[in-house]
Amino acid sequence: MIGSELLTDPLWEPKHLGQAIPPSPHAVSVALPRWEDVIAYEEKDPECINNLQSIYPRFGLHPFLKAVGEKALNLHLKGANSAWPYPNIITAKKAKEYCNQINNNAQITIKEVAGLQCLIVDSNTTPAAKAFWQHTGLGASSRQAAIALNKEKTPSKNAGEHARTAIRNRLAKIYGCESNLIQLHPSGMAALTTALEALQKCRPQNRTMQLGFPYVDVLKLPQEIFNGCELILNLDPLKLANQLDKKKPSALIVELPSNPMLECVDLPLIAKIAHEKGIPVIADDTIGSAININPLPYADIIFTSLTKSFAGCGDILAGSLVISPESQWKQTLQELFSIEPFSHLSDADAIPLAEASKDVTTRVNLLNQSCMQLKTRLENHPQIKKVHHPEYCQNFQSIMRAHGGYGCLLSFELSGGIHKAKRFYNSLKVCKGPSLGTMFTLACPYVLLAHYKELDWAQKCGVPPALIRVSVGIENAEDLWDRFKTALES
């Protein structure tokens, strides 16, 4: 298993700043071992940025992708500022179309570099290009870039198709549905992009509606790339029904559970209200995991970041989209998704994902147990003000499978506020960086990473800036608790 050494020898000290987590050329996390490193990362401090050997996909260009982009810039005329590699001309053109909508005077071109299509833009258009890249998740993967740079070999088409078939069959068994209801995408956000684009064909002018505090890009994608999205935090059934009558959204989007507060909407009730009004429900089950919960009787579309616990190794980017066999729009959705071919999980990414996910059920069950053990000890420690975990959410329990657990994620607040949180984080001897679902523990001050420029807004939504989020791994339980206890007492 990639990164197994991190179970006992994590990247947690100042000297580890910027190292890839795990130590793989395709790592999806990066070490930000001190609180001040997180701030420096968000402030784009050159000393911090120049130390980064990897970066969370979609939040920036992986070094391989950056190298492809630099090749594209060298082929272009002067005036270009940045280049964004896409896997095919369709996705590159979608990015170009979006950038033109944002900036009528944009200087944009598309150049092919070793099979990848690079969107090349001027400085005024770079923010729009970055936003499309981040929110949609349609960009080329690091493995595709490695092939373009001749750092890795092109896998066979047959091997790639065999891997995708194995993954779809594996997911079909987990969800309890037919494999032809499952699509594979280059990221979880690409899966949501596909769903929103398909629904937009039915209701081209309608906004979506997000229920409950959202993962940043699940809200930003429909807000900035599509027709808009309204965030609803008051989930009183009568008020929600009135809002649906008034706003007539194209879909409701929910997270099972939410990130980072780990709260869950009453999915059966929400779905009943929405379906009575002809509104489909889209659910993100990345954190809960379909091994633990069953949203298919209620949600019409489920999207997942397979990067997380499904892969488990922290160095594969992928996503899935599942149409509920019980949805009243099943046939319509199948027809709509069949004509949306722009988002596709590559051969290079599918092959390692098929291998890594073979033991997904065993791993998720181990992560469930590890997280529960740490949660119990944290909530009994005097330095802990509050632990957030799905066990406390009846709505989550209502959609749990018979032998399901609560997932690998927890968040907590410390009694000493932000000052104590800084000391704790800097002293904690686990890997520290973004992402979740790995076999090794990952911690981060999540709100700073996801909402640095909107901390006041997050606070008003009930999400404190000093919150620590932990994706619990399978380290020895006593050893892991000793590390947390030592940091709490620092």
Domains of the chain: which residue ranges? 63-140, 157-358, 360-488
- Compute the Cα dihedral for 29, 30, 33, 35 and give only its sign: negative
| SS3 assignment, position 374 | helix
User: Bigger pLDDT: 114 or 488?
Assistant: 488
**pLDDT higher than 90, residue 77:** no
What percent of the chain is modeled with pLDDT above 70?
Answer: 98
Which of 264, 237, 195 has the alpha carbon at shortest distance from 404? Answer: 264
Q: Tell if the pTM clears 0.85, that is, is over it.
A: yes
Average pLDDT, the chain: 94
Cβ atoms of residues 280 and 244 within 8 Å? no
Pick 363 or 77 by higher pLDDT.
363
Q: CA torsion sign, 386 to 390 to 391 to 393?
A: positive
Closest among 301, 218, 300 to 259, alpha carbons compared: 218
Q: How far is CA 473 from the centre of its chain?
A: 18
pLDDT at res. 341: 62
Q: How confident is the model at residue 44 (pLDDT cuts 50, 70, 90)?
A: very high
pLDDT of 202 strictly over 90? no
Quickly count: other Cβ atoms within 10 Å of residue 344's Cβ: 20
Question: Parallel, antiparallel, or unpaired: how do β-strands 208-211 and 252-255 relate?
Answer: parallel
**H-only helix segments in 316-427:** 330-338, 347-356, 360-379, 394-397, 417-427
C-alpha distances in angstroms, 93 versus 85, 117, 139, 200?
Answer: 11, 9, 12, 18
Are 26 and 315 a contacting pair, CB within 8 Å?
A: yes
Mean pLDDT of 428-454: 96
Which CATH architecture group holds 157-358? 3-Layer(aba) Sandwich (3.40)
43: helix, coil or strand?
coil
Residue 153 to residue 164: CA distance in whole angstroms = 19
pLDDT at 85: 97
Predicted pLDDT of residue 339: 63
The CA distance from 130 to 220, in Å, is 13
DSSP state of 268: H
CATH architecture of 63-140: 2-Layer Sandwich (3.30)
Region 320-336 average pLDDT: 94
The residue-averaged pLDDT of 18-41 equals 97
Decide if 73 contacts 451 (C-beta within 8 A): no
Instruction: Give the tens place of pLDDT for each residue, 119-171.
Output: 999 999 999 999 999 999 999 999 999 999 999 999 999 999 999 999 999 99
Q: Report the pLDDT averaged over residues 460-464.
A: 93
Task: Tell me the HSE value of 128 on the side-chain side, using a 13 A CA sphere.
Answer: 23
Return the structure tokens found at 265: 């909407």
* pLDDT value for 255: 97
Q: Tell me the pLDDT band of 193, cut-offs 50, 70 and 90.
A: very high
Average pLDDT over residues 10-37: 97
**First and final C-alpha spacing in the chain:** 32
Over residues 418-437, the mean pLDDT reads: 97
* Long-range CB contacts for residues 332-337, cutoff 8 Å, separation at least 24: 332/202, 333/198, 333/280, 333/300, 333/301, 334/180, 334/181, 336/198, 336/199, 336/201, 336/202, 337/183, 337/194, 337/195, 337/198
Tokens of 387: 């632990």
- Residue 1: pLDDT band by 50, 70, 90 thresholds? low
Q: How many CA atoms lie within 13 A of 310 on its CB side?
A: 30
Predicted confidence band at 338 (pLDDT cuts at 50, 70, 90)?
Answer: confident
Q: What is the Cα–Cα distance from 155 to 351, expressed in whole angstroms?
A: 8
- Owner of token pair 């990414």: 349
Query: 119: closest CA among 103, 105, 135, 130?
Result: 130
CATH top-level class of 360-488: alpha beta
Write the pLDDT tens digit of every residue in 274-319: 999 999 999 999 999 999 999 999 999 999 999 999 999 999 999 9
Q: Assign 106 a pLDDT band (cuts: 50, 70, 90).
A: confident
* Beta-strand pair 208-211/229-232: parallel
